[in-house]
Each structure stands twice: as structure tokens, then as C-alpha cells.
Amino acid sequence: MESVWSLCVGALFACWLAGSVVNQFRLGSWRKVTAHDRFMLLPRWTFFAPNPGRTDPHLVFRDCRDCAPGPWREIGWAPPNRWLWWLWNPGRYPRKAVSDLAAAVMTGAAAATGSDARLATLSPAYIALLQCVMAQPGAVSGGLRQFALVHSRTFAAQRPLQVAFVSEWHRVEP
């Protein structure tokens, strides 16, 4: 019985790998399959994209206390001195994770329409960003918290920001 389960799980992962490989190519017939991928389990990697990203995503959040939304605060992982990034850059991995998760949430939000609009909030990318936001200090138990994805073209202090996605309000649990 155990070997049957191992075979089934192995076949599932083999199909997932094959689907992930096929998803890297923009095949017209494959789009019918990805249209049903509500949880975005088939990734698309663009390491050397023909259209590289020209903006940087930023994760911001705010709390709502007494029915009054507070100011937006950015979650930052960059060391204070950019000249040290070549030597010490602990924020590189979280920034990359936010970048990948933001792209997945944006793709899911663009694909979700009408009655499926709330399905984007069930995607693993949305839940991972929500977990990151909820782990930030300063939340009041029973209050509400909301996050947004904004894009900028630079890391300068005075940079123009473009709002790309705003989440729903989520209750902060103790």
C-alpha cells in the first residue's frame, strides 16, 4: 500500500514538473490549461526576460484603529548604506521573495474577474504576503491591517510611487 502512495505522489510531482516546464513557453493551447490554475501552482520563470522589469515592488501596510486608517509604512530590508551591498546584503532574499510574490499576486488579481475576484486572496502568494505583513510589529489586537503593493523606479527617499494592488482589510488576531 505504501508503494502505491509513493507511486501516486511521484506521478503527481512528475506531472507538476512537466506542467511547469511547458508553462515556460507561451503556447496558445496551454493557455486553456493555465486559465484553470486558480491557485497559480504552475510557475513562469523569466530570469532572462525579453522585457525586463523596470520598476521595483515595495510592500507597504497600514493599521486601522477606531475606524481611522493610519499612515502607510514600508517593510524594508535594505541595509542603510547601499555601498556595502556588494559585501553585506541581508535583504536581498526577502526583496526577491516580495518581488516574486508581488508578480504572482498581480497575475492572479488580473486573472480574477467578477465572482472569482476573491479567489486571488486564496492564492499562496497573497497568503505569504499577508503573513509577512501580519508579522510586523505595532498591530493592536482586534484592529485591522491592510497591505498594498506599490512600484517605484528608484530607491531614492523622494520617489514617485505607483499603486499596483491594495488588499482587503484583515483582522489582527492576538
The phi, psi pair for 163, rounded to 5°, reads -75, 125
* 96/89 Cα distance (integer angstroms): 12
Buried/exposed 125-144: b ≥16 CB within 10 Å, e otherwise: bbebbbebbeeeeebeeebb
pLDDT for the residue numbered 9: 94
In this structure, the chain runs to a length of 174
pTM of the model: 0.64
- State the distance between the two ends of the chain, measured CA to CA, in whole angstroms: 43
pLDDT for the residue numbered 88: 72
Which one is predicted more confidently, 116 or 32? 32
Give mean pLDDT, residues 80-86: 67
DSSP letter assigned to residue 140: P
The phi, psi pair for 3, rounded to 5°, reads -70, -30
Cell (9 digits) for 76: 524594508
* 62/44 Cα distance (integer angstroms): 31
Of 23-32, 40-49, 97-106, 133-142, which has the strongest mean pLDDT? Answer: 97-106
Cβ neighbours for 99, distance < 8 A, ≥ 6 positions apart: 53, 56, 57
16-25, 90-99, 113-122, 144-153: segment of lowest average pLDDT: 113-122
Q: Please spell the DSSP secondary structure of 22-44, one letter per residue.
A: HHTS--TTTHHHHTT-TT--S--
Which one is predicted more confidently, 171 or 141? 171
pLDDT surpassing 70 at residue 156: no
